[in-house]
Structure 1
Amino acid sequence: MTQPASAARQDAPNLVKTPPQQEPKGSGPAFGLRLDLRNLSLLGVLAALIVVGGFTKPDEFLAISNLQLVLTQASIIGVVTVGMTFVITSGGIDLSVGAMVALASVWATTLATQEYGFAGILFTAIVVGVGCGLVNGVLIAYGGLVPFIATIAMLASARGLALQITDGKTQIVTVDSVLDLGVKDAYVLGIPPLVLIFAAVVVIGWLVLNRTTFGRRTFAVGGNPEAARLAGIDVRRQRLYLYVLSGLCCGIAAFMLIVLAGSGQNTNGNLYELDAIAAAIIGGTLLSGGRGTVVGSVLGVLIFTTITNIFALNNLETAVQQIAKGAIIVVAVLVQHHTLRRRGQT
């Protein structure tokens, strides 16, 4: 009995070292080259879209006010996408992000909450987002539920609760200090405050994912959970933290949406899960986990937001926009699958 135990201990280090998915994907010259090429290609797509927008609607699309609007709209879904990038990198999925944004936005704009002013609205939005993420994390990490099922349940519950709170009505924000963040007088060097918040979240997200132990553990859990466990990582706790992080990002995004819209509605965040997942995928984050990039996800968000803006300026139907987004997701997943097969990883 002693011999197998000793052999198992000798094999354990090999299990930790051999799987390529376990090592942080932000390191290594080969990965760095692939990442740069992907980001350059995404920048090329974004540049092409800007040319298309400038050609079809030069006066409207290239106007400073429109570019500010594109960046502002990208900021809200972008913050959600940063959290989604962490979750997908760990091998999970969160289909409830849009519903969590809706619930946080309506809970933070009730009359009782608005009595506490700016701090009350911000605090409530973040707490509701974190609370929903905590529920998701507990159900998935310690309850054993599949992420798809747990987050679908949260999606239905959060949407239902948001509808119950608002009774289907729009809740108008009357707190001036919140509304002032959305006016042009609050812009810093022509940059909307919401864009600055998004930039801060992106920088923090990049540093956490690529320069901290938390980020390395996220890559390890997504690449090979068993190897991560043998390496001493508490896989369940890490997954819990990741869904809480996703909820935190949703809470921040809900506050930003309140500032932009000046109200809270149960329909807020509609299809945010589609946009966030799509942006992360085309940015280079693997659905199977083990690889993720915040910079790529941001470029993905900018691409989708620019597409939406161009479609809107050219009076194309919303259905066409959704079809285009769906097609992009399919193409991105097929490219990922084909690339992995060529490398012998699937």
Structure 2
Amino acid sequence: MTQPVSPPRYDSGKAPATAPPPAWRTLAARADVRTLSLLGVLAVLIVIGGVTKPDEFLDTRNLQLVLTQASVIGVVTVGMTFVITSGGIDLSVGAIVALASVWATTVATQEYGFAGILFTALAVGVGCGLVNGLLVAYGRMVPFIATLAMLASARGLALQITDGRTQIVTVDSVLSLGERDAYVLGIPPLVLVFAVVSVIGWLVLNRTTFGRRTVAVGGNAEAARLAGIDVRRQRLYLYLLSGLCCGIAAFLLIILAGSGQNTNGNLYELDAIAAAIIGGTLLSGGRGTITGSVLGVLIFTTITDIFALNNLQSDVQQIAKGAIIVAAVLVQRRTASTT
């Protein structure tokens, strides 16, 4: 019985075609390049600060101050990253921080001590986030308009509560967190809170169903709905998360400033959006990175510190920030067009 003979193989002289790399590997490679680029920018800024003002910039207290200032806006940026990843926007974060800080520092609230101030700040933040979420998700309002209305309303209410005056915090347990005695291994407590929020945010966005749904909604809301995701409920949760981050930031700001003012959180929305964008979060939604957002916050805070140490005008600083935002958006569009 003869064995079947296989057809002869002819060598064309060409190497066999290889399958393209999986999409996740391509995205991971781009993420690594983006992270390394941001680290490079941050390193350059540190060198510039060290060269221009070596004694002041490289001083341990100044570096602690930079990290502390980055912590407040950094927590806000974590929440903003989730919202932008879903294809939304939140212009009210600065006003919510202001409202939460003044509401939590009223005389009536301070009578309940540390717990009263913390609970009020978080409750006000979540409450404002709930209103934003309901307007966007179930009221079908454009996020830009809904959060712009919240910005105006929260600022107005904060001004009404304070009557334009600064509310001094008298609760020692709150004020003590801002003193050097409360530092853990030389790290301010505010920085530790920022680190914890960032780690939790990274885990939620990259390792949970909630994070995958957020990316899906931002990439294609209709496809996400057809896949069984409750898009409206997901958007509501995202604005609640943003409000919660604003409440945490308000409490950190109370510790840092020792007071509550209706001007708190001024332009936080600009800084948070800018940090998220230059970090690699896609403004149109569908892609977000907590690591990039954290590095973006550190870059902007370092720029602010360098400008302050060199006695440069704040208007030049704003121009520099605007240029960085434009450059980041152009890079995003170029990257998107090549895919």
TM-score in same-fold range (> 0.5): yes
Measured against aligned partners, the alpha-carbon deviations of 1:160-180 in whole angstroms (never above 9, x if no partner) come to 000000000000000000000
The residue that corresponds to 1:16 in the other structure is none
After TM superposition, give the deviation of residue 320 of structure 1 in Å.
1.1
The residue that corresponds to 1:191 in the other structure is 187
The residue that corresponds to 1:226 in the other structure is 222
After TM superposition, give the deviation of residue 321 of structure 1 in Å.
1.0
The residue that corresponds to 2:205 in the other structure is 209
1:123 equivalent among 111, 119, 128: 119
2:175 equivalent among 161, 174, 179: 179
Question: 5+ residue gaps in structure 1?
Answer: 1-26
2:253 equivalent among 231, 254, 257: 257
2:35 equivalent among 20, 39, 47: 39
SS at match of 2:184: coil
Q: Does the alignment pair 1:51 with 2:51? A: no
Instruction: Give, in whole Å, the separation in 2 of the partners of 1:216 and 1:151.
Output: 24
After TM superposition, give the deviation of residue 339 of structure 1 in Å.
1.4
After TM superposition, give the deviation of residue 317 of structure 1 in Å.
1.1
1:328 equivalent among 302, 324, 329: 324
Q: Does the alignment pair 1:113 with 2:106? A: no
Q: Does the alignment pair 1:77 with 2:73? A: yes
Measured against aligned partners, the alpha-carbon deviations of 1:249-273 in whole angstroms (never above 9, x if no partner) come to 0000000000000000000000000
Instruction: Give, in whole Å, the separation in 2 of the partners of 1:160 and 1:323.
Output: 28
SS at match of 2:164: coil
Question: 5+ residue gaps in structure 2?
Answer: 1-22
Higher gyration radius (CA): 2
Instruction: Give, in whole Å, the separation in 2 of the partners of 1:58 and 1:247.
Output: 39
Instruction: Give, in whole Å, the separation in 2 of the partners of 1:35 and 1:340.
Output: 14
Instruction: Give, in whole Å, the separation in 2 of the partners of 1:243 and 1:329.
Output: 23
SS at match of 1:315: coil
Question: What is the identity, as a one-letter code, of the residue corresponding to 1:202?
Answer: S
TM-score normalised by L of structure 2: 0.93
SS at match of 1:222: helix
Instruction: Give, in whole Å, the separation in 2 of the partners of 1:298 and 1:281.
Output: 11
Instruction: Give, in whole Å, the separation in 2 of the partners of 1:124 and 1:300.
Output: 29
SS at match of 2:202: helix
Instruction: Give, in whole Å, the separation in 2 of the partners of 1:296 and 1:245.
Output: 19
Q: For 1:279-318, what aligned pairs fall within 5 Å after superposition?
A: 279-318=275-314
Measured against aligned partners, the alpha-carbon deviations of 1:124-149 in whole angstroms (never above 9, x if no partner) come to 00000000000000000000100000
Instruction: Give, in whole Å, the separation in 2 of the partners of 1:95 and 1:170.
Output: 24
The residue that corresponds to 1:19 in the other structure is none
After TM superposition, give the deviation of residue 325 of structure 1 in Å.
0.7
Question: What is the identity, as a one-letter code, of the residue corresponding to 2:73?
Answer: I
Stretches of 4+ aligned residues off by more than 4 angstroms: none
The residue that corresponds to 1:20 in the other structure is none
The residue that corresponds to 1:237 in the other structure is 233
Instruction: Give, in whole Å, the separation in 1 of the partners of 2:77 and 2:239.
Output: 13
The residue that corresponds to 1:147 in the other structure is 143
After TM superposition, give the deviation of residue 337 of structure 1 in Å.
1.1
Identity of aligned residues (%): 84
TM-score normalised by L of structure 1: 0.91
Instruction: Give, in whole Å, the separation in 2 of the partners of 1:312 and 1:241.
Output: 38
Instruction: Give, in whole Å, the separation in 1 of the partners of 2:337 and 2:230.
Output: 30
The residue that corresponds to 1:9 in the other structure is none
After TM superposition, give the deviation of residue 100 of structure 1 in Å.
0.3
SS at match of 2:181: helix
1:102 equivalent among 78, 84, 98: 98
SS at match of 2:262: coil
RMSD: 0.6
Instruction: Give, in whole Å, the separation in 2 of the partners of 1:63 and 1:57.
Output: 10
